[in-house]
Amino acid sequence: MALEWCYAGNVVGSNPTVPIMKIKKVAIITGASKGIGKCLSDIFLKSEYTVINASRNRPSEKTNAIFIKTDVSEKESCRKLIQKVTRKFGRIDVLVNNAGVLHPDTIENLSDKTLKSNFQTNVFGAFFCSYFAAKQMIKQKSGQIINISSSAGVSFREGILSYAASKWSVVGFSGALRLELQKHGVDVICFCPGGTKTQLFRHYKEDVSKDFMDPSELAGKISEAMNRSEKEKWLFVYSRKDRVLKKFGFEDYPVQQ
């Protein structure tokens, strides 16, 4: 498959004799139609990335991101997403596994439906997108995968039993994936944000997000984590209480390598 060449940032075909001024980097962000994903998409677009918004629904606001309808809870949908991007652009520089759901529950009212929904999107979505994207990144010998977990993935909370379990899984998956891919030149990080004003909490009967953070603040911190100088750091926690970006590597994270 021939790579598509870009002239001044626009695809013009696959003829390598065409003058090349610039080949844009390609970033895929799941769930980029709103919230943190949308704000992160705006940052990438300003940095002259070609941004793919992989979401179930089209964004309500106008954006220069390319929309590809995707349901990350379905493996085949993730496969088609990565296939479409690699066929069109010949590369994937960044994958942000941002899509997520939160269905609150306790051990007393836990249902199969809630458990499956939290895990299929939060865990399997990140796993399948990373699985297919990693194949391309290994070929390139470069790339970056950012998995968005939650502060509930590094702490213990009541009332969100299966959600917390899913986000702890994302942290574990990210660390293991980092160990596997770093020898191929692929960087993997995990970002754990605190409460943020998004539709993630729409299933609560009352507004619990009054003192939560703005998604643009979180997007800025995620970008900071991605562009860190301390490359050995891979786990980042940003709480609404202290607003300090905490960074961990394998040597200082409580769980042993």
What positions carry a catalytic annotation? 163, 167
**CA dist., res. 173 & res. 179, Å (int):** 10
CA 174, distance to chain mean position in Å, is: 11
Instruction: Tell whether the torsion through CA atoms of 150, 174, 217 and 33 is positive or negative.
Output: negative
Tokens 């213990």 found at: 156
**CA dist., res. 214 & res. 217, Å (int):** 6
**CA dist., res. 112 & res. 40, Å (int):** 33
**CA dist., res. 183 & res. 148, Å (int):** 22
CA 67, distance to chain mean position in Å, is: 16
Give the CA count within 13 Å in the CB-facing half-sphere of 255.
9
Kindly report the three-state secondary structure assignment for every residue of 214-234: CHHHHHHHHHHHHCCCCCCCC
